[in-house]
Amino acid sequence: MDDYPMLNLFWTMLVFFLWIMWLFLLFKIITDIFRSHELGGWAKAGWLILVLILPFLGVLLYLIFRGPAMAEHDIKDAQDRERAFRSYVRDAANSPDAGTGGPGTRSSHADDLAKLSDLKDRGALTDEEYQRAKAKLLA
């Protein structure tokens, strides 16, 4: 260990960490280029060539010029996933088969109510949706 001092080890770890972070950023930018609907084909090709040919400069320029759009894409994707999840939960809670594992395997009302309560506690169901599903179960 004498031929590789502790400070050199720390420096190597720092450089390696920064390199890995830069790779993550590069992949994030490349995926953002392809999912961006406001960029045309030539603009996407131009950004991709810039990012791949001059990686450090390309990444910095992309962050400067397209950084706010990247954040908007992330927010929109998160909202779309949340909307799809809520729709799935709503459909599952309101379906006539809710709580059944198949023909003839009806679970108890207590289990169904516990599942609904859990969904409401996690914020997947609104109070109105919870009350409607609960009334349907108890009817």
| Angle at the Cα of 41 from the Cα atoms of 40 and 45, rounded to 5 degrees | 120
Quick one: pLDDT at residue 103?
Answer: 45
Query: Average per-residue pLDDT in the chain?
Result: 83
Residue 19: inside a domain:
yes
100 φ/ψ angles, rounded to the nearest 5 degrees? -105, 145
Report yes or no on whether pTM surpasses 0.75: no
Q: 23: which 2 tokens? A: 């790779």
In a domain, 132, yes or no: no
Answer whether residue 48 is part of any domain. yes
Q: Is residue 55 part of a domain?
A: yes
The residue range of the domain holding 44 is 1-66
- Residues near 66 by Cβ (< 8 Å), separated by ≥ 6? 32, 36, 47
| CB-based contacts of 111, cutoff 8 Å, min separation 6 | 99
Count up the domains in the chain and report the number: 1
Q: How far apart are alpha carbons 62 and 54 in whole angstroms?
A: 11
Quick check: is 105 in a domain?
A: no
pLDDT in tens, 68-121: 888 888 898 889 889 988 888 888 877 665 555 444 444 577 778 888 888 888
Let me know the angle formed at the C-alpha of 8 by 21 and 56, rounded to the nearest 5 degrees: 30
Residue 14 lies in a domain: yes
- Going by pLDDT thresholds of 50, 70 and 90, the confidence category of residue 136 is confident
Average pLDDT over residues 41-61: 90
- Is residue 18, in this structure, part of any structural domain at all? yes
The mean-pLDDT minimum among 6-15, 21-30, 85-94 falls in 85-94
Say whether pLDDT at 15 is over 90: yes
What value does the mean pLDDT take over residues 13-36?
91
Is the separation of the CB atoms in 74 and 81 below 8 Å?
no
d(CA 137, CA 92): 13
Q: Assess if residue 4 is contained within a domain.
A: yes
pLDDT at 105: 41
Percent of the chain clearing pLDDT 70 (strictly above): 88
Percentage of the residues of the chain whose pLDDT score is greater than 90:
23
